[in-house]
Structure 1
Amino acid sequence: MDTLLNAVALKDRLDGAGDTGQRTVLLDVRWALGDPHGHDHYLREHIPGAVFVDLATELARPAEPRRGRHPLPPLEQFQESARRWGINDGDAVVAYDDSGNMAAARLWWMLRNAGFRQVHLLDGGLAAWRAAGFEVAEGPEQPLPGNVTLSEGHMPAIDAEQAATWGRQGLLLDARAAERYRGEIEPVDPRAGHIPGAVSAPTTGNLETDGRFLGPAELRARFERLGYRADVPTAVYCGSGVTAAHEIAALEVAGFSAALYPGSFSEWCQGAANDVVTGPEPYGGDAASH
């Protein structure tokens, strides 16, 4: 199953070109850190037929210190949401946003983790759709309820205990902006810095300037420079488990695999016993912060 689908291929799919009888469900995951108005953006402009997905309430449960800012919702809740979006067993899903798939990748990972493999990211998101000259719609969409049955545990994941030693046995990638990794700024979490042993790998490095993913060869080269090797286990975290999913999608485009730390730094930094280091090196140049 290809991770990415381009705008022309999506338009052909929606128009029924080469129809194989598989229905396509289009999901708009408009969300960005610091911008709570995703639904308003969706109502003003979205790909025709796309159903809005609220990341904060449908792809996460309320924040709690021991689980981070965007804890994964219970399976039953996620399945209820997926049915409300109109997903049936046997459908294909295409997810997108307007921020390089930084938010849509969360839905991609969650569906894959729930055993739903027929899910793509629209490469370049809404911007690519507009650039191709295709029409957009406004207002809400009202899908018929679906019947999809989901399960869990189909994608690799780690917890805080594993993250604590991951950098010594494998490769731990920090998908946040480099200045947050170094501890120079921290806009949302109570401590600044990174998990000891982590390597800085901002998700922005996965994309072209137009928001499309780099090609497989370029992504392979990027992750190999960061230390990826087939015989070394790789895991990824970010601030709250959202953009880390984007890094896992990029790794998959490259032909690689990695585990997600769902709680990510927002969970890690709340643990009083968890060290946080600063500076550009995996084990820091400053004293650990407690």
Structure 2
Amino acid sequence: MTVLTRVADLLADPTAAVLLDVRWALGDPRGRQQHLEGHLPGAVYVDLETELAAPGSAAEGRHPLPSVQSLQAAARPWGVSNGSRVVVYDAGPGLAAARAWWLLRWGGLADVTILDGGLAAWTAAGGPVERGEVVPEPGDVTLTGGCLPTLSIEEAAALPGGGGVLLDARAAERYRGEVEPVDPRPGHVPGALSAPTAGNVGPDGRFLPVAVLAERFAQLGVRPGTTVGVYCGSGVTAAHEVAALAEVGIDAALWPGSWSQWSADPERPAATGTDAP
């Protein structure tokens, strides 16, 4: 699976792909405004909260997967057609863009990649930016869904004790239960291992080399053939970890409900501290 597009490759032929700007951060509603102030030429703004997620609930988590029908209805106005090459990006390390990458791949679109380093890498390389809104010709993409694996809450709970590895992609202090800024309870799923998404990238916001990523995951007990699931707070940044695993040739399942779903159920135990691999 090809996961990344390098800035140099996109600079060589920027019109060969549908460009999607997925700037978003938890608690920061300025993504659209930032897009209007400067984006890759031709890039269409994608709203993560309304287009890449269904309405949140205690039962399903803060960012449930949208239905295939609603994702398709959103993707067509982005200019996405069957057979389109799509490149997604955000301000930098791809934590939000990975959600669009994962969803479109899950939906059945084959050629979707993340711009490695995002807008920061693009501008650092001298890439041009433009202002204002982009309204492309609508596409005709038909999505099917189910093309990437997911985990239910019960499957996630059973994974650590069933010979698999469940990775928690949140910041380590949230995993340990020291802080919890948004979800009902602190802690982590018993048996899950801490693997913060930030550890997938270097200081420049680009993904680490494949060999380095492979060693990182191997230290957590993840190797080719391992059954792997990933969660975060609400299934957004966990997609970045799925992308990093895909870079090293490991297929991982995403748990869309993640900790926001688990912690909302008082019957589910919450572990704190550290779990050694």
Match of 1:68 in 2: 61
Match of 2:228 in 1: 234
Cα distance in structure 2, aligned partners of 1:123 and 1:156: 23
Which structure 2 residues correspond to residues 240-255 of structure 1 after superposition, within 5 A?
240-255=234-249
Instruction: Give 1:250 deviation, angstroms.
Output: 0.3
CA RMSD of aligned residues (A): 1.2
Match of 1:217 in 2: 211
| 1:182 alignment partner, one of 176, 181, 194 | 176
| 1:165 alignment partner, one of 158, 161, 179 | 158
Match of 2:190 in 1: 196
Cα distance in structure 2, aligned partners of 1:164 and 1:253: 26
Match of 1:8 in 2: 8
Cα distance in structure 2, aligned partners of 1:146 and 1:183: 45
8 A contact 1:29–1:95 mirrored in 2: yes
| 1:34 alignment partner, one of 27, 32, 48 | 27
Match of 1:98 in 2: 91
Match of 2:141 in 1: 148
8 A contact 2:92–2:121 mirrored in 1: no
Bigger drift between 1-10 and 51-60 goes to: 1-10
Matched to 2:259, the amino acid is: F
Q: Deviations over 1:175-199 (max 9, x none)?
A: 0000000000000001000001100
Cα pair distance change 1:179/1:241, threshold 3 Å: same
User: Percent identity between the aligned chains?
Assistant: 54
8 A contact 1:240–1:264 mirrored in 2: yes
Q: Deviations over 1:184-234 (max 9, x none)?
A: 000000100000110000000000101000011110000001110334311
Matched to 2:200, the amino acid is: N
TM-score by structure 1 length? 0.93
Match of 2:74 in 1: 81
Cα distance in structure 1, aligned partners of 2:92 and 2:62: 20
| Structure 1: gaps of 5 or more residues | 16-22, 284-290
8 A contact 2:101–2:113 mirrored in 1: yes
Cα distance in structure 1, aligned partners of 2:241 and 2:122: 22
Match of 1:288 in 2: none
Cα distance in structure 2, aligned partners of 1:3 and 1:176: 21
TM-score by structure 2 length? 0.97
Instruction: Give 1:83 deviation, angstroms.
Output: 0.2
After the TM superposition, which segments of 4 or more aligned residues of structure 1 sit over 2 Å from their partners? Answer: 229-232
Cα distance in structure 2, aligned partners of 1:203 and 1:31: 16
Bigger drift between 230-239 and 73-82 goes to: 230-239
Matched to 1:191, the amino acid is: R
Partner of 1:84, secondary structure, is coil
